[in-house]
Amino acid sequence: MTVKLGIPSKGRLMEKTFDWFGKHGVTLRRTGSEREYSGAVADIENVELVLLSAGEIPRELAAGRIHLGVTGTDLVRERLALWDAQVSELIPMGFGHADLVLAVPACWVDVDTLDDLDAVAAQFRDRHGFRLRIATKYHRLIRDFLRQNGVADYQLVDSQGATEGTVKNGTAEAIADITSTGETLRANHLRLLSDGLVLRSQATLFSTRSETLNEEDRATLRAFVARLDPAGNG
């Protein structure tokens, strides 16, 4: 058997992951053509590189089909119930920073906190006869956050992209999405709630907690992680 390392197959996240491993003395490279999703880990025996969608890495780690994986903390917490029983967070990698935030129309001058959002949700439901809609793709994280904070009378509507546009398009009253600079929010006339930070996310190296490796592979995994994080302070 081999230890399988899953990394994002596309874009800047993939490039930065390659760079990060390079800086830590491990050369990852793609094999085959530019369009083929396959890769290799140089310098280390018995570690295989798997390229896959960042969104699928949490599920594959939980199932033990890959043993190490690079993805955002937001995706792990959103997609896995009891995530810390299924995967271990090994090393925060210092890139791919993004905040999951709640935002409302900037013209809502009366709304700045979750307390306001909750009051407005009650007002909105009375007036319009349905619950205030929050557009997001992070259903679990947002629902848990709003429940913990006692916000009622809202509903989540699914939005898999261009979420910032939903308010102007009339399909939602507020949004919850990932932002790094807040530029897109501002451009769409939205504003963060002052206590609406749900999660700070960054690219992170995770390992599986499922017991699919034999003793020899576990030793390989430990040696590999020790090389990436010699101080063991990840």
- Contacts with another protein, residue ranges (CB under 8 A): 81-82, 105-110, 112-113, 115-116, 118-120, 122-124, 127-128, 130-131, 139-140, 143-144, 146-156, 167-168, 170, 172-173, 189, 191, 194
CB of 187 to another protein, least distance (A): 11
Amino acid at 69: G
Q: Is the CB of 118 or the CB of 224 nearer to another protein?
A: 118
CB of 206 to another protein, least distance (A): 20
CB atoms within 10 A of CB 168: 12
- Which tokens in the block code for residue 14? 């993939």
Distance CA 15, CA 33 (A): 16
Q: Is the CB of 82 or the CB of 231 nearer to another protein?
A: 82
Distance CA 204, CA 93 (A): 5
Q: Is the CB of 113 or the CB of 180 nearer to another protein?
A: 113
Q: Is the CB of 4 or the CB of 191 nearer to another protein?
A: 191
Q: Is the CB of 48 or the CB of 115 nearer to another protein?
A: 115
CB of 143 to another protein, least distance (A): 6
CB of 86 to another protein, least distance (A): 11
CB of 7 to another protein, least distance (A): 28
- Identify the three-state secondary structure at position 124: helix
